[in-house]
Amino acid sequence: MSEDTFPGWHGTTIVGVKKDGRVVVAGDGQVSLGPTVIKGTARKVRRLSPGGSDIVAGFAGSTADAFALLERLETKLEATPGQLQRACVELAKDWRTDKYLQKLEAMLIVTDGAELYVVTGAGDVLEPEDNVAAIGSGGNYALAAARAMMDTDRDAEAIARRAMEIAASICVYTNGNLTVETLDA
C-alpha cells in the first residue's frame, strides 16, 4: 500500500541515558495511525534475560518487526553470553543481509548496564556520543533535552524522564505514559 492510501504508523520516542554507572531506557506509550492516537499505553521498552543476562531494549518502528528483531537479538545473546556488542553486530549483519530481515522497519536501543547501543537496519551498531541515545518520532527532541542535562546534578533516570517530558510537549506522536527500565553497570 502506498503512503497515500494507508497513512502509516507513527508514535514512539525512546531515550537511553548512561550516567554514573547506571543506564536508563525510557519510552512513551503512544501509537498513532495517521492523525489518530490508537493506543496510549504501549510498552516499547522491555527487559530481556537471555542466558541469565539482564538486557534492556527499547524499540521504535513497527511493533511486529521490533519483536522479530528482539527474538533474533535474544538468540544472538544466548550464542554469545556476556558479549552485547558482538550480539548486536551479529544481529545488524543479519538484518542487513537477510532478505526477510531487510524489510523490517524498526530501530533498537540496547543496553546491558555497561554498554549502550543503537542498532539499525542499515547495519549500524552505534555507541552514542555523550552517553545519550534516542530514536523514534520525538527522538531528536529527547536527545537534545537529555544532552543539555548531562552536566547537571540530575541522575540518569531524572534526565531520561525530563527529556521524555520535553519530547512529549513538542512531538504530537509522543505522550507522557512512560515505561522506564534501569540497569546498573
Of the candidates 108, 167, 158, which has an alpha carbon nearest to the alpha carbon of residue 133? Answer: 108
Give residue 150's domain range. Answer: 9-178
**Coil, helix or strand for 174?**
coil
Residue 185 domain flag: no
pTM of the model: 0.91
Q: Which residues pair with 32 in a beta bridge?
A: 10, 37
Residue 49 domain flag: yes
Residue 154 domain flag: yes
How would you classify the pairing of strands 22-27 and 36-39? unpaired
Rounded Cα–Cα distance for residues 96 and 38 (Å): 31
Cα distances from 8 to residues 32, 33, 147, 183, in angstroms, run 8, 6, 30, 33
Encode 102-115: b = buried (16+ Cβ within 10 Å), e = exposed: eebebbbbbbbbee
Residue 54 domain flag: yes
Residue 183 domain flag: no
Task: Identify the CATH number of the domain in which residue 46 sits.
Answer: 3.60.20.10
- Burial label for 60, CB within 10 Å (0-12, 13-18, 19+), is buried
Residue 3 domain flag: no
Residue 103 domain flag: yes
Rounded Cα–Cα distance for residues 112 and 99 (Å): 29
Rounded Cα–Cα distance for residues 92 and 141 (Å): 26
Residue type present at position 43: R
Rounded Cα–Cα distance for residues 148 and 176 (Å): 20
Residue 2 domain flag: no
Among candidate residues 5, 12, 75, 97, the one labeled active-site is: 12
Is 171 annotated as a binding-site member? Answer: yes
At 3-40, the pLDDT tens digits run: 444 444 456 899 999 999 999 999 999 988 888 899 99
Is 168 annotated as a binding-site member? Answer: yes
Domain count across the chain: 1
Q: Is 12 a catalytic residue?
A: yes
pLDDT in tens, the chain (185 residues): 344 444 444 568 999 999 999 999 999 999 888 888 999 999 999 999 877 779 999 999 888 888 889 999 999 999 999 999 999 999 999 888 888 788 888 899 999 999 999 998 888 999 998 999 999 999 999 999 999 999 999 999 999 999 999 999 999 999 999 999 999 98
